[in-house]
């Protein structure tokens, strides 16, 4: 098995603590990584802090150029990185509707290029005979990134590239389930960036806890569960760290009665099941008007029954396994609870026999709010479809959840759908789509789905502090 080290101050770091990384399609290890201790976090933070003055002082054009060069390095190594993501995460190389490892690495390249070109020019709010007042955006210092296992490399890019663009240095901790592609990325990054600008410490919760409480880290950006986000927030309070938290989602979609079930069902299935439902902003609860409910359910079940599930290394595979056994157990338990509550399983509903963490694509009818499968984020290939009578009821049910990441409305009447979408309590609303993000449009949640935004100029600003400069002229 190939061995991947940590990186601190531009150098590979080996340790005595080794972790085997499991291929979820086989349930067997395929690589091994070095993992760290809190003292490795200390060393990585010290390296990042030492590199910060020179990195933040680089001329803007030079820092942009290095990030564009990094994007080119990712692109040149795309086949290798795609394979690593597929082996550690399970997502197919191509995937349902083209959403797989190819999209993940291609997205990482595009996100890096676009973010590199963002500018944060000083804002002049007064310039007269009395005074000139400028508002400047300045880098924070050391930014720590803690990433999840569902989009291991792309989310790392979402975290670290705006941090670097703003002039910060980085300590990156990937999920212990999926550290390999990130480790290779950091190795490549250290061929482009100055030593200490990008550091990697791998490990489990003890490493994450050491990062969260470290006094010399200025900001933490975290994507993951609401429960873990709250713990990070508690630890960060001691030093008043800045935070960006993209947490759990239980996104609702509302289908109005004017759509054609056969036309809309493939789109609904795609946005609910890509990456096997393991995306924060996947469609996870679907509310369908009673007049078309049975037809939409039937079409979704038909599609689910025909999807090819298997090892993601097979280019024809559309859906792979769940990433880990614990997540497979969550989905299995939610399915069992749905059965006990009278849910009608129109497709799937079972773990697939044999190797790997596979669960059949599943459509469940006959449930409503109050069932665990509706109320909780399933993060897997199982979708509850809920019947509603009028739009006020649909909006009430959609908003009846502590999460508020994304939502969608599906209709031929775009103006009406947009007005309904604005009533949803979520940070992101899509009309006739769901979960489509892009690097120039801000993305973030409300309620217990997070704090702050990512992407676009607004997301870049979250990696800075404001300094107001007032120049008196009298």
Residue 11 vs residues 5, 161, 209, 395: alpha-carbon distances, Å: 9, 20, 24, 53
Q: What is the CA radius of gyration of the chain?
A: 23
Q: Which of 104, 246, 318, 377 is catalytic?
A: 246
Instruction: Compute the residue count for the chain.
Output: 474
| DSSP structure class, residue 139 | E
Cβ neighbours of residue 259 under 8 Å, at least 6 residues apart? 292, 410, 411, 412
| Nearest residue to 8 (alpha-carbon basis) of 59, 58, 42 | 42
Instruction: Compute the distance between CA of residue 430 and CA of residue 353 in angstroms, rounded to an integer.
Output: 37
Contact 368, 396 (CB under 8 A): no
In this structure, what DSSP letter does residue 3 have? E
Contact 288, 388 (CB under 8 A): yes
* Strand pairing category for 406-410 and 251-255: parallel
Structure tokens at 263: 């036309």
Q: How far apart are CA 32 and CA 377, in angstroms?
A: 31
CA distance 288 to 370: 17
Asked if residues 351 and 399 have their Cβ atoms less than 8 Å apart, the reply is no
Task: Kindly state the tokens that stand for 439.
Answer: 């690097």
Name the DSSP class of 443: B
DSSP states along 366-388:
S--BTBHHHHS---SSEEEEEEE
Q: What token pair was written down for 226?
A: 């609401």
Give the residue among 96, 102, 46, 51 at the shortest CA–CA distance from 74: 102
Give the chain's end-to-end CA distance (angstroms, integer). Answer: 71
280 a catalytic residue: yes
Q: Which two tokens stand for residue 255?
A: 């289908």
Distance CA 87, CA 83 (A): 6
Distance CA 291, CA 328 (A): 34
Annotated catalytic residue, options 104, 176, 280, 462: 280
Q: Catalytic site residue 426?
A: no
> Which residues participate in catalysis according to the annotation?
246, 280
């Amino acid at each position: 098995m190939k061995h991947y080290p940590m990186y601190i101050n531009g150098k590979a770091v080996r340790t005595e603590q080794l972790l085997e990384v499991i291929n979820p399609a086989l349930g067997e290890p395929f690589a091994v990584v070095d993992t760290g201790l809190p003292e490795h976090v200390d060393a990585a933070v010290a390296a990042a802090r030492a590199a910060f003055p020179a990195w933040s002082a680089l001329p803007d054009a030079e820092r942009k150029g290095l990030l564009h060069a990094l994007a080119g390095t990712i692109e040149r190594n795309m086949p290798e990185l795609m394979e690593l993501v597929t082996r550690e995460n399970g997502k197919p190389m191509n995937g349902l509707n083209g959403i797989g490892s190819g999209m993940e690495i291609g997205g990482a390249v595009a996100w890096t290029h676009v973010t590199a070109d963002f500018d944060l020019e000083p804002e002049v709010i007064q310039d007269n005979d009395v005074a000139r007042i400028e508002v400047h955006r300045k880098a924070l210092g050391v930014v720590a990134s803690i990433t999840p296992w569902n989009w291991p490399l792309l989310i790392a890019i979402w975290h670290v590239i705006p941090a670097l663009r703003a002039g910060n240095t980085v300590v990156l901790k990937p999920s212990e389930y999926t550290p390999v592609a990130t480790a290779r990325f950091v190795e490549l990054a250290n061929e482009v960036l100055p030593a200490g600008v990008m550091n990697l410490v791998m490990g489990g919760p003890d490493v994450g806890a050491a990062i969260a409480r470290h006094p010399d880290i200025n900001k933490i950006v975290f994507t993951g569960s609401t429960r873990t986000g709250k713990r990070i927030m508690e630890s960060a309070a001691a030093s008043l760290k800045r935070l960006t938290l993209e947490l759990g989602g239980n996104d609702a979609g509302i289908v109005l009665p004017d759509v054609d079930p056969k036309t809309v069902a493939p789109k609904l299935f795609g946005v609910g099941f890509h990456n096997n439902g393991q995306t924060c902003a996947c469609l996870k609860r679907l509310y369908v008007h009673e007049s078309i409910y049975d037809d939409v359910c039937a079409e979704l079940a038909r599609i689910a029954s025909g999807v090819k599930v298997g090892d993601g290394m097979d280019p024809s595979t559309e859906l792979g396994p769940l990433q880990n056994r614990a997540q497979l157990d969550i989905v299995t338990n939610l399915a069992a609870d749905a059965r006990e509550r009278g849910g009608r399983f129109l497709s799937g509903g079972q773990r697939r026999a044999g190797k790997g963490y596979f669960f059949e694509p599943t459509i469940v009818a006959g449930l409503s709010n109050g069932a665990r499968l509706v109320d909780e984020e399933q993060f897997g290939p199982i979708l509850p479809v809920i019947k509603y009578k009028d739009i006020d009821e649909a909006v009430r049910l959609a908003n009846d959840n502590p999460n508020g990441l994304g939502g969608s409305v599906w209709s031929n009447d775009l103006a009406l759908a947009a007005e309904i979408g604005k009533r949803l309590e979520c940070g992101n609303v899509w009309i006739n789509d769901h979960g489509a993000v892009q690097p120039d449009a801000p993305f973030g949640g409300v309620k217990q789905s997070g704090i702050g935004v990512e992407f676009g100029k607004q997301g870049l600003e979250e990696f800075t502090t404001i300094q107001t400069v007032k120049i008196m002229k009298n």
